[in-house]
Structure 1
């Protein structure tokens, strides 16, 4: 009862501050926790304890890469990846909100600058919760229920650590709530210790979490949620970026490397455990691009963990301008096209018959004919039928005679094109959009989840791990499950071509879901980290006929220090034991 008595002395003010200040944006689980509880009641029943953990679900990712500032909550990490370019045109043809052109510094990594500060408080929330409920009246009343709630919070903490090590490499492992008397000069653990900690936590909570949840609890942790986090963490740890023989750093390798002789087998086993639990079933079948699009608009059995949204409460109060219908629709639909896919990325989409755009069936003068189904589901291209009309990115040779396209962009924005939000690359994101909204994008889409983990990723995790183990037959089987669900042929490649097929499948199947930024890094594929960023421009002659030109928009550089974010300077200055990530010293 010691922690509970201490908590009672702290009173309601501390409760409100510790648990709810970070939940000031609307609660994703649509549980109203804005009113503080009397301190003598808050730990008295399992129902009250349950309310305390809900705000920690705000630790999960969502539509915006950041949770503060105007821009970061309106686009995802795709704009910093091979997939897309952050698009706001102004007179400079774009705002480089991710600072990809000048490069990251210890003081300014662009829209990532709040990742450290906005993530760590959730670790403390979890630690405070776990300490307070231990020995509480609620635990005495129903110990089994409290153990399940503790497992749920430990899952959330493990997921937070999984995010931290993706961005920063090794971090300190903190499992207790700090007090003013504690030593804050805490060094970073090793990367391997962090991975082992996350996996061990998940192994503890998996047996305690429920296998399924009722519909009203969609978005809360289950066994499959925890198993999916474990699968991704082990796959990432096994990858080239964390191999001691391949890591790009020249010192302090323990902060970045994972040295396990069974690393690929462990990654394969973690994925296979999920596959076995779901009965090794096929993915949900789809007949066409529309059916595939619909998979991302509502709850379905392939989703293993997601951030749920209703019709009243979503990420930033009632700001519908933070939802993808507004932020990603082309300009002519009153959208902002804030993440415009690169032509480099669009070329990853195969032809309908399974051949690549490097093969003879691809016609660069008619680049959108006979492409694979996911191209039409994910990409808004010139001529695509969208929200009741065809998209038109074209610039007229004389717009006093024939008008520029409604979705167009031109460097000369005073006389041509559509000011600010026309696509610089000639593409926009279609995935996630609810086209039933019609012209009114100032609406929500109740029930549309932000998917964090899904079964297709697990099959691709398994395929990649089995390839590295040397079981190419099994790798082909599971990558083909994803390919064939997308109406593509089975994968028949072998050797390095098979690995490339698995990577391509991840790029296309997991498009714009926050994977590519990390995938290209863990594969150390620097051709997709620094590259000539290409787009398509369209010209319309006086007969209304369009023609295209492929062009280079910018040269995106890449410095190897950008495999990780810098630890904020303020943290380095007040924590002498901290070692800054290499290249930011």
Structure 2
């Protein structure tokens, strides 16, 4: 894959486009430290630097460059003092995930105009650059519409004429469906003008265009289908809300785009490692001939384009710096991974009578589960970088008394009855309630954690990429679209290879298919990949799952609704392991587990109807009175 370098002058060229003519002769002189637009568009390497900047500015929400965003909902706890507030605010802010960057769109439109006017480039280079910019612009509008609903569709660089009347520059919001239609049509228009190359993964390709089209069409279809349950989340002009009558056509477009990728045969599921959990984990860190990755934001050590995800989230006990452990996956997520017989079940910390269940090994409670669990989450007693993670909360005595500590791996003297001497009373990784960087939920994250030596060091950091589109999601898209179009068996068939890779050997049947099943499959396959918010929004499940109702340990110990898509998920819980101490008893030395709610979790998240579309800031409306506000805000 060719590395993209970012020239400092690219932004200057895109921002100003042409020099302004002035009377003073010295102002007419060409600067010696920049290049003219004309000079840039004669050299494909210089144009590449400009398009590289445009790629680099592509917006994401919940990524490895912002680990804390993964703790906004129910996937994880933020074990970092400055982020505890994420679990203490009941209501999501209306502007929490808004984004409105028309300067970026203008830069894309200017680039396209310059490209169309360029005469010195070869047709092949010119056509590819133009197609790439249209791909990026389609992605930007997709990012806008899924946050804001319908937005102004601007496809030409607008220029102010200094007349004192800017109203001709003001555009009203397009319908939400019109923005989706634009995204889909642009991707259709450019797909055959982009390289059809699975080995190109950080620039636009035919596969990337089709993957984005499949996702965008699926989002539009879902809003049309499920939006009827939230009828008050709409605007009379169609800026928000898509008619139910449009759902079928969008599902068909999503399925067709997915089928085109599948039938092309260039992409496949990653299957390099016989250990299924290790294989799933490696999918996100292996950049050598990875057949699953369609489009990614790349990072390179040699260009110092790196990130600190591993520094921030590596297990604290084996960290290469004295920090890490910030992102703690929740029991809510961990318990979602089903058993290998296709059934959902709570992790058995207590039996039917409420008595503790004793386990010989600390990992035994997780045995027989979907392999994606251990590929997504670092479980107690498992390894990272060939070092065993030390997660256990203390000793539990026969009478229920807990002996523990308040610092990593703390030791105490003469605290166990009948056993004089000094003993370690808590894991070197915790969990310790309120101690940042400890595994306060009982777990650390594994997905995207870099196993390379030095990746957890400040001076080195990680070059693991951020995968925006991958083949497994294409299969999930196809399954969901097929089900919505009445082909339940087709949906089961698309899910089968994804589930087979996870070790789930009993194939689902058409009768097993439901929205609940499809929601589950995306939750466990795509955790920590930035899908949860957008999926819950498009299915109109967000206000039902994040409903403001408090949760209790009983929701996890006696859970009967694990596979229900709309189940309450408002507070992050954890699962703590204890060593049972009762000399002479058959269970002495075994492990018991307790469901806990970290003390920093004090509020139950509530997603209001107004959260389905983000707040359009008042200053935007002040500058353009044609912009109407989003509903319920």
1:536 to 558, 565, 575: 575
Aligned to 1:306: 296
Conservation of the 8 A alpha-carbon contact between 2:430 and 2:438: yes
When residues 74 and 579 of structure 1 are mapped into structure 2, their CA distance, relative to the original with a 3 A threshold, is same
Aligned to 1:211: 196
**Is it true that 1:405 corresponds to 2:427 in the alignment?**
yes
When residues 40 and 148 of structure 1 are mapped into structure 2, their CA distance, relative to the original with a 3 A threshold, is closer
Q: CA deviation at 1:297?
A: 0.9
- Measure the CA separation in 1 of the matches of 2:456 and 2:233: 53
Aligned to 1:25: none
Aligned to 1:168: 148
Q: CA deviation at 1:390?
A: 2.7
When residues 274 and 406 of structure 1 are mapped into structure 2, their CA distance, relative to the original with a 3 A threshold, is same
- Measure the CA separation in 1 of the matches of 2:534 and 2:592: 36
- Measure the CA separation in 1 of the matches of 2:576 and 2:271: 37
When residues 398 and 463 of structure 1 are mapped into structure 2, their CA distance, relative to the original with a 3 A threshold, is closer
Conservation of the 8 A alpha-carbon contact between 2:310 and 2:461: no
Q: Return 5+ residue gaps in structure 2 as ranges.
A: 1-8, 18-32, 358-363, 396-402, 406-411, 414-423, 548-569, 583-588
1:150 to 124, 130, 141: 130
Map 1:99-138 → 2, pairs under 5 A: 101-105=90-94, 109=96, 112=97, 115-117=98-100, 119-138=101-120
Q: CA deviation at 1:341?
A: 1.6
Q: CA deviation at 1:103?
A: 2.7
Q: CA deviation at 1:122?
A: 2.5
2:217 to 234, 240, 243: 234
Q: CA deviation at 1:99?
A: 7.9
- Measure the CA separation in 1 of the matches of 2:102 and 2:382: 43
Conservation of the 8 A alpha-carbon contact between 1:351 and 1:357: yes
Q: TM-score, normalised by structure 2?
A: 0.76
Aligned to 1:23: none
Aligned to 1:178: 158
1:274 to 261, 265, 276: 261
Map 1:312-331 → 2, pairs under 5 A: 312-313=302-303, 322-331=307-316
**Is it true that 1:454 corresponds to 2:453 in the alignment?**
no
- Measure the CA separation in 2 of the matches of 1:247 and 1:43: 49
Conservation of the 8 A alpha-carbon contact between 1:219 and 1:308: yes
- Measure the CA separation in 2 of the matches of 1:338 and 1:564: 29
Aligned to 1:6: none
Map 1:55-70 → 2, pairs under 5 A: 55-61=53-59, 65=62
Conservation of the 8 A alpha-carbon contact between 1:393 and 1:423: no
Q: CA deviation at 1:500?
A: 2.4
Conservation of the 8 A alpha-carbon contact between 2:301 and 2:462: yes
Conservation of the 8 A alpha-carbon contact between 2:201 and 2:294: no
When residues 393 and 133 of structure 1 are mapped into structure 2, their CA distance, relative to the original with a 3 A threshold, is same
1:187 to 152, 166, 172: 172
Q: CA deviation at 1:149?
A: 1.0
Conservation of the 8 A alpha-carbon contact between 1:271 and 1:461: yes
Cα deviation, 1:146-177, whole Å, max 9, x if unaligned, reads 12210111001101111111111111111112
Aligned to 1:564: 613
- Measure the CA separation in 1 of the matches of 2:227 and 2:590: 56
Q: CA deviation at 1:575?
A: 1.9
Q: CA deviation at 1:224?
A: 0.4
- Measure the CA separation in 1 of the matches of 2:267 and 2:299: 29
- Measure the CA separation in 2 of the matches of 1:12 and 1:240: 38
2:373 to 372, 375, 382: 375
- Measure the CA separation in 1 of the matches of 2:303 and 2:455: 22
Q: CA deviation at 1:14?
A: 4.5
Conservation of the 8 A alpha-carbon contact between 1:235 and 1:267: yes
- Measure the CA separation in 1 of the matches of 2:118 and 2:266: 39
Map 1:13-28 → 2, pairs under 5 A: 14-15=12-13, 17=15
When residues 45 and 476 of structure 1 are mapped into structure 2, their CA distance, relative to the original with a 3 A threshold, is same
When residues 65 and 124 of structure 1 are mapped into structure 2, their CA distance, relative to the original with a 3 A threshold, is farther
Aligned to 1:196: 181
Aligned to 2:585: none
Tell me, what secondary structure is at the counterpart of 2:478?
helix
2:239 to 242, 255, 259: 255
Q: CA deviation at 1:59?
A: 3.1
**Is it true that 1:85 corresponds to 2:77 in the alignment?**
yes
- Measure the CA separation in 2 of the matches of 1:272 and 1:390: 42
Q: Return 5+ residue gaps in structure 1 as ranges.
A: 1-10, 20-34, 67-71, 414-418
Q: TM-score, normalised by structure 1?
A: 0.81
Aligned to 2:67: 75
Cα deviation, 1:447-492, whole Å, max 9, x if unaligned, reads 6321110110000100111011111111111101100012212432
Conservation of the 8 A alpha-carbon contact between 1:393 and 1:405: yes
Q: CA deviation at 1:232?
A: 0.1
Cα deviation, 1:14-37, whole Å, max 9, x if unaligned, reads 527459xxxxxxxxxxxxxxx742
Tell me, what secondary structure is at the counterpart of 1:426?
coil
**Is it true that 1:44 corresponds to 2:42 in the alignment?**
yes
- Measure the CA separation in 2 of the matches of 1:162 and 1:482: 26
Q: Which has the larger radius of gyration?
A: 2
2:629 to 561, 580, 585: 580
Tell me, what secondary structure is at the counterpart of 1:452?
strand
Cα deviation, 1:533-573, whole Å, max 9, x if unaligned, reads 32223445678765432133442222121222212232123
Tell me, what secondary structure is at the counterpart of 2:40?
coil
Cα deviation, 1:295-347, whole Å, max 9, x if unaligned, reads 111231111111111113465xx6xxx43211222333344333322211111
When residues 294 and 443 of structure 1 are mapped into structure 2, their CA distance, relative to the original with a 3 A threshold, is farther
- Measure the CA separation in 1 of the matches of 2:160 and 2:84: 42
Aligned to 2:535: 519
Q: CA deviation at 1:440?
A: 4.6
Which is further off, 252-261 or 539-548?
539-548
Tell me, what secondary structure is at the counterpart of 2:193?
coil
- Measure the CA separation in 2 of the matches of 1:99 and 1:314: 36
When residues 330 and 565 of structure 1 are mapped into structure 2, their CA distance, relative to the original with a 3 A threshold, is farther
